Amino acid sequence: MRNKRKFLMGMIALSMLILAAWGSSADEPSATEDNQNETTNSTQPTTETASLKGDYLKKLNETKEEMDELRANPTDSSTYAMKNAEVD
């Protein structure tokens, strides 16, 4: 009975060891490689990215101003009008 228990515990320990090794596979890139790639990409923004960012910020500011104006001067004081303004 003790031999079976020892054998079973050994098999469980071996299985856990294999699963742990399988989880940290060498196929995945290391964290340092990811950080180096991010640093290179973030330090050299392209003109296209800068242009898209500028366009996005411009549209965002216009929308914020429009929403502030609609909230300050509602055509109807009900919440339905506010929901309609936010959807548009």
Mean pLDDT (the chain, rounded): 76
- Give the model's confidence band at 57: pLDDT under 50 very low, under 70 low, under 90 confident, else very high: very high
Q: What is the DSSP string of 16-83?
A: HHHHHHHHT-TTSPPHHHHHHHHHHHHHS--HHHHHHHHHHHHHHHHHHHHHHHHHHS-SS-SHHHHH
The confidence score (pLDDT) of residue 10 equals 93
Mean pLDDT, range 20-32, rounded to an integer = 65
Position 47 pLDDT exceeds 90:
no
